[in-house]
Amino acid sequence: MTDQELVERAFTMLERSYVPYSHFPVGATLEGADGVVYTGCNVENSAFGSTICAERTALVKAVSEGCRKFTRLAVVGNSTDYCWPCGACRQMLYEFAPDLEVLVARKDHQFVKFPLRALLPHGFAPESLD
């Protein structure tokens, strides 16, 4: 799957977002090292702290299916700026894939790619507990 195809698949998740409060749908696709792609969308809750981002939705789906190694993540939104993962998502992803490639897209389907380590320098990893 090309980077553009991964981004396009993330865009299909926007319509599944549950965003009655922010009205800001986000879609994500997370590629496992085995090539399987897990999808996610953001799901808001009236108790705002219970909201889950699209990236973490995809990650939790993947982990619950037994996948623990990842290569790429695409995050998309309906905004004129790129849809960047929040800090909580960056940290959750770092746990499993500090070398993850992160593709972030705008509503015009243009995207840029960064390594997760650039988005979360000095991330807290399992070996940080040693």
Instruction: Provide the annotated active-site residues.
Output: 55
Q: For Cα atoms 12, 16, 19, give the angle at the middle one, nearest 5 degrees.
A: 125
Start-end of H helices in the chain: 3-11, 54-64, 87-96, 116-119
How far apart CA 42 and CA 118 sit, in angstroms, is 24
